[in-house]
Structure 1
Amino acid sequence: MHIWNRFLYQLAGQLKRAENIIRQRIKRQETNQMKNTEKCYTNRELSWLQFNERVLNEAGNPRVPLAERMTFASIYQTNLDEFFMVRVGTLMMQMNAKEKVIENKTGMTSEEQVKEILAHVCLLEKKKAKIYEQLMGELEPKGIRIINFNRLSNEEGRLLEQYFDAHIAPFLSPMVIGKQQPFPFLANKQLYAIVLLTSQKGKKKTGIVPCSNSVFKRLIEIPTRPGCFMLSEELILHFISKLYPKYTIREKSIMRVTRNADIDAHDLYDEDMDYRDMMEQLIKKRVRLDPVRVELSRKINDEAKQELSNFLEIGTSHIINVKTPLDLSFVFTLQNYLRDQKELFYEKRSPRETPALSMHESILSQVEKKDVLLSYPFESMKPFIKMLNDAAEDPDVVSIKMTLYRVADRSKIIDALIEAAENGKEVVVLVELRARFDEANNIEMSHRLEDAGCQILYGLGDYKVHSKLCLITQKKGDSYAYITQIGTGNYNEKTSRLYTDLSLITANQAIGADAAKVFLALQQGETVDEVSELLVAPKCLQNKVLEMMEEQIANKKAGKEAYIGVKINSLTDKVLIDKMIEASQTGVKIDLIVRGICCLKPQISGVTENIRVISVVGRYLEHSRIYRFGVGDEEKMYIASADFMTRNTVRRVEVAAPVYDPAIRERIRYIFDTIMKDDEKGKEQNAEGIYEDRHINEEPVNSQEIFFQDAYEACNK
């Protein structure tokens, strides 16, 4: 008995040791796999800076017309401004939070991210300075020069001094910081002169002069030299001693402050306050949020920098020296002086009318016969606007329902909805008041629509409504029929000429029924739990995309063809990224067209080697979203409003629509495949996360130019 017990005891010990060995092996495998996948991730913020560098590169691209390169330089700056206002603002708030926030893909803390961002931005600013100098040099032979005082004659200097005394100085408000004058509030993105002063008694003071003023021009033309300009802030800085006659000027610089703009409406929530009033309060509060960056046009000494840091309550590492003008918006004024030199601009392009529709017949009746795809900016938005006008006047139309995120000023779409309401149609419009930096416009628009009799919804408390969805309901005898439009971009006539987007209009009744479910849920302050045709975030999009990716993994394992193709603006959703890594490891071919942020590194051996990532930055902003799963007749295809970002897939209301029409499916494949071949404006990401030039065609391929040529040829057939 004792021998048997000893045997069982020894056996149990051996089994325990074997179990521990197996567990250790599994843990090592999981650790190795984690290490393998960890190197596949790129930090979101650093990836965005890479995107903005690609924009900056277009400013330095000699194949881009000179005046358009100036536009890219300005876009780079405004992009960076918004990045600091929103993303860096968020990170700085996280730094002040009680609990540390760790980025879920690279494991970086908020402090580490801000440090990396500032270091990267300093490098980008040096690159921008070189490109700006190059642009200014190329402008001189074209008759335009931006100069400073060391390039002026004495006579020209006297003329500018007279101009300063008569037209600028009277409108300036120089301040001296002291007990009677505390450090003033510096408005977001406005120009100021900061002056380090010494009084006659030897006391050190600081002076501030606001330089942004609508009374005087930003660009001052030298009277004796047509086409030769000086920036008003440089003129102010040169003659600033005239504003402080009792002081000696020790140092001086132009300064620009960027403030945090990331404020949540929930922070102002008041159940007794009208939602529009609450958003108006948000807009007012935003302008006084904390600084996140200070730019200086000249270096100041460390003591002065520390003093400025104390005044603004911002770290000295956030005070950045910039060798270009701090506000590049003046380049658009310069362009007006170059309009007669057409070779300096892109060739003029106008959206064409699609041959799929006649503008002389009802769009509604035409869509009842076949689905229609509009491709902006190559094709015009006019057919969609006409469809709304037709619906406003059609006696069979009983309702029009739309989600609006960003619309144009003096929008014809808004006019059509107002006309429909005035004609007795039920018009339901969800206006997303939280569309960042468009809140004021959307508030004003909601008043107009409401005054006309439209029923206005203001989105959901926990979810922004970012979908592009329009549902027209017609009475057909004793029943009803739907016409549904699903888009990838905003209902905005202006951006439809600048952004690439897709708009699908269909009479598919199952899609219409799903759209009706979406609007019913929104009207009840809810989100849909189940749909049959559409993909609808936050509950019915990410999980469905995962299922379709899983199908491709299963196909590959079964020896069948498998493919995933996605065109989006940004990729940050770790759940979807991890599933794509799994698919790649299974052997599924994956093509990703990601214009901006991409947190996935492709082409890593054994992990993401089956994934290709390209980014296209060209004349038009790539904005359309396309999802493709499978090949041939089995392929599932969608156009969508949602990027593969967590905010889109689980924190917003987004809609993706299936594409069933064979001709439209073939057209979308052609669009996708042509962009994948783009080696003129397309860059491909390598395994290190670096975007490289592509040389894959005998003749360079510019997808946007091809699509415009296609639209012109189709229109002229």
Structure 2
Amino acid sequence: MPKSKKITNQPINLTDPQYYLNRELSWLEFNNRVLHEALDPRTPLLERLKFLAITSSNLDEFFMVRVAALKQQVEAKVSKLTFDGLTPQRQLDEISFFLRPLVAQQHQHFENVLRTQLAHHGIHILDYIDLTEKQRNYLDNYFEEQIFPVITPLAVDPSHPFPYISNLSLNLAVVVKNPETEEELFARVKVPKVLPRFLALPPELGIQHQGKPFVWTGIPLEQAIAHNLESLFPGMNIQEYHLFRITRDADLELEEDEADDLLLAIEQELRKRRVGGTPVRMEIKSETPAAIRDRLLEDLELTENDVYEVDGLLGLRDLMYFMSLPLPELKDPPWQSVVHPRLQRIREPNIVGTEVREIEEGKDFFAVIRERDLLVHHPYQSFSASVVRFITTAAHDPNVLAIKMTLYRTSGDSPIVNALIAAAENGKQVSVLVELKARFDEENNIYWARRLESVGVHVVYGLVGLKTHSKIVMVVRREQERIRRYVHIGTGNYNPKTARLYTDLGLFSCREELGADVTDVFNFLTGYSLQKSYRQILVAPVNMRDRLLSLIHREIENAQKGNSGRIVAKMNSLVDPQIIATLYEASRVGVKIDLIVRGICCLRPGLKDISENIRVISIIGRFLEHSRIFYFYNNGQEEIYIGSADWMPRNLDRRVEVVTPVQDPDIAKDLQEILGIMLADNRQAWELQADGSYIQRHPGEDCPETSSQKILMSMALNSTAIASTLINSKKSSVSLDS
């Protein structure tokens, strides 16, 4: 191992706010990197629209949760400083200053660049004023037949108070004049969410592009409404109309200690969320007159600092609509996850009722795990052919006695939950912790909790004061007069849909100590337990913080003895000030530290005498980097861990998290290879600077483009091809011998 620069160990206060980046501003930097994918001409055109939509959706959630919380603190006159030294009001000011030019850039790029490029490829998002007479007639008829019956205009006057504006809704502020009295009146028209945001014209009215077949021509829904307001206000003269959009506080306020029924309490809070909390942002067209603007601000109790002016289309999150167009040449090449080589020859269960009839020779899933631990890497390797198959096989295996599982987020049509229901119906003991407090997935989780309970599954809703974020499954199986426990410990949610978009890892094992540890975690979740120690795994909030700190301190001690120290950690966010200060300590004694942090990072790398040995990169690509991997050199006795926890106070102190050591040497090498590939990325990687900004890496003349996600896709395909060749060669040898 090459030795890093050692720093003179002069006393320094490593908790000084100047050594930390603000969490909220770091998140905005992350969203800026996502926006860059929309600006980057190397990104396929429709994928650029997708990234614009993601950026907009991210900002919506940021305002609904983070900005809303800061505004509440200001209102409550909270003056406590963050560990980076900012008050709540100062953070709001910094957010506004940082965000306004980015919002302007986002909208300008769509209007001035992407809209033109879309038209070049036959996708014409028109304005109503640009339509031909035939096109207008079609849309006017469509309005009368399909839109008009859905809309309810709301007057605002002494007998009609200002209407409630729902969260994330598009609205028209309309001024009409009564021709009999010459009185100007104000009204609000909501753009209904039950209708498509973009109205397509039929092919015969669409714009043909360079002789190519018709692709898509249409207008935004709000423009069809705006140009038919006479139908909504008959007899009135339409004076003006202006589009605006409201964002409200959407975080749940739960008093868990006082809730007799957590499920009922969350249902009540969800009803409040549908209506929405206090307004926190208003997006409005820049040409909106001051009188309309002031009236909206007064009625919504907002300030000028809460207003974001937009030139062009409001609500860019709806651009995701265009990803449904059948234009593969304008999207990333399709990716089909491959089956892990060791799982290509396992028996597929043919399920008839409750009976399983095997239809293919080969090992069963449990035999593969008994051979040695198995690591799967999604979405490069199939989630359905590994995790879903594992649980489905267990549900129908007559030797399986029990299945225990944690569910934080899952899909609406979850095959995993259906397998758990089948397991309960097959007489197995099934226990599931469904985390009802998973933000913005509460309603889905309530639905599944009730479904599971209805078939006799033991459902636990979570622990008071803690979110259960761990990703663990345990299958208890009787084998030759003994009981064996099979476990899966993952970094991502048990959601087949997001498993195609998020990079995550999962470890299958039947090691005795690991099974015993996971059993203890489930007892902690479902019963009463004060267990403070575990054989192998790290569990938050019990021992994870202390164990992580001790692993970093071990590298410090080795470096102080003149040996090499090395840490590589991949995660979503790095926020915890105690962990950061300890990493600074490690850097100061010469430990070389590489951090791969997709999102928020509050650590400042490259500070003289503080963090000169720390490098931080962020990788933003077609897949959302979600896996957590932690590597410690340990004086040559390397240790590597995977699990569900980021290095944030909420993960270490307020969530139930599980991180497991990887003991299989081949899997450990695979994980080190993944880390090495990511550290070498010069296509999707961004390097964090000491001031909190990021600089994207670019290939050089002597350095070819290295995209970690493309390399990992290629490696997955190659491993499958090699495995298929070996299988076919074995088949050939058998047939020849016979």
Give yes or no for TM over 0.5. yes
Residue 20 of structure 1 aligns with which residue?
none
After the TM superposition, which of the residue ranges 127-136 and 570-579 deviates more from structure 2?
Answer: 127-136
Cα 1:523–1:154, aligned 2, differ >3 Å: closer, same or farther? closer
Give the match for residue 365 of structure 1: 367
Contact 1:518 1:527 in 2 (8 A): no
Q: How does 1:397-436 map to 2 (within 5 A)?
A: 397-436=400-439
Match of 1:80 in 2: 59
Cα deviation, 1:649-696, whole Å, max 9, x if unaligned, reads 111000000000000000000001101111101111122221112146
- The answer to whether structure 1 residue 280 and structure 2 residue 258 are counterparts is no
Q: Equivalent residues in 2 for 1:260-659 (5 A)?
A: 260-266=249-255, 270-272=258-260, 274-287=261-274, 288-337=276-325, 339=326, 341-357=327-343, 358-360=345-347, 361-381=363-383, 382-477=385-480, 479-526=482-529, 528-630=531-633, 633-659=636-662
Aligned mates of 2:289, 2:99 — CA distance in 1: 21
Q: Which residue among 698, 704, 707 is the counterpart of 1:699?
A: 704
1:406-451 alpha-carbon deviations (Å, 9 max, x no partner): 1112222112212222222211110001111111111111111112
Secondary structure at the residue paired with 1:503? Answer: strand
Instruction: Give the aligned residue type for 1:301.
Output: P
Q: CA deviation at 1:389?
A: 2.5
User: How many Å apart are 1:325 and its aligned residue?
Assistant: 1.8
**For 1:255, what is the secondary structure of its paired residue?**
strand
Structure 2, unmatched stretches of 5+, are 1-9, 208-215, 348-362, 723-738
C-alpha separation in 1, matches of 2:530 and 2:437: 17
Aligned residues: 682
- The residue that corresponds to 1:716 in the other structure is 721
**Paired residues of 2:107 and 2:313 also in contact (CA < 8 A):** no
Tell which deviates more after alignment, 226-235 or 432-441. 226-235
Q: 1:344 to 1:66 in 2, by over 3 A?
A: same
**SS of match in other structure, 2:563:** coil
Which stretch of structure 1 is more off in the superposition, 503-512 or 209-218? 209-218
Query: Offset at 1:603?
Result: 1.2
Residue 645 of structure 2 contacts residue 659 of structure 2 at CA under 8 Å; is this kept in 1? yes
For the residues of structure 2 that align with 1:418 and 1:619, how far apart are their CA atoms? 34
Q: Distance in 1 between matches of 2:329 and 2:338?
A: 23
TM-score (norm 1): 0.91
Q: How big is the alpha-carbon RMSD for the aligned residues of Structure 1 and Structure 2?
A: 2.1
User: By how many angstroms is 1:160 displaced?
Assistant: 3.9
Aligned to 2:206: 225
**Partner of 2:282: helix, strand, or coil?**
strand
> 1:44 maps to what in 2?
23
CA deviations over 1:134-161 (Å, ceiling 9, x no partner):
1111011111111213423455445544
- The one-letter code of the counterpart of 2:105 is K
Which gives a bigger RCO, structure 1 or 2 (Cα 8 Å, sep 6+)? Answer: 2
Q: Distance in 2 between matches of 1:640 and 1:469?
A: 9
Q: 2:471–2:644: 8 Å Cα contact kept in structure 1?
A: yes
Deviates more, 1:80-89 or 1:194-203: 194-203
Kindly tell me: are residues 83 and 216 of structure 1, through their superposed partners in 2, closer, same or farther at Cα, counting changes over 3 Å? Answer: closer
Match of residue 168 from structure 2: 189
- Deviation per CA, 1:432-489: give whole Å up to 9, x if none: 0111111111111111111222111111001000000111222345543221110000
Deviation per CA, 1:107-144: give whole Å up to 9, x if none. 11111111221222211111102221211110111111
Equivalent residue for 2:45, pick from 53, 66, 80: 66
In structure 2, C-alpha distance between the alignment counterparts of 1:678 and 1:527, rounded to whole Å:
44
3-state SS of paired residue (1:530): coil
8 Å contact 1:94–1:101 — kept in the other structure? no
What is the rounded CA distance, in whole Å, between the counterparts of 2:617 and 2:419 in structure 1? 39
Contact 2:14–2:584 (CA<8 Å) still a contact in 1?
no
Relative distance call for 1:603 and 1:696 in structure 2 (3 A) is farther
Question: Which residue does 1:11 correspond to in 2?
Answer: none
Tell me if structure 2 keeps the 8 A contact 1:553–1:583.
yes
Using the TM superposition, give the Cα deviation of residue 324 of structure 1 relative to its aligned residue in structure 2, in angstroms. Answer: 3.4
User: TM-score scaled by structure 2?
Assistant: 0.89
Show the counterpart of 1:145: 124
AA in 1 matched with 2:290: D
User: Aligned residues: percent identity?
Assistant: 37
Contact 2:150 2:192 in 1 (8 A): no
Instruction: Look up the equivalent residue of 2:87 and give its one-letter code.
Output: T
What secondary structure sits across from 2:395 in the alignment? helix
**Could you say if the C-alpha distance between residues 56 and 527 of structure 1 is closer, same or farther in structure 2, counting changes exceeding 3 Å?**
farther
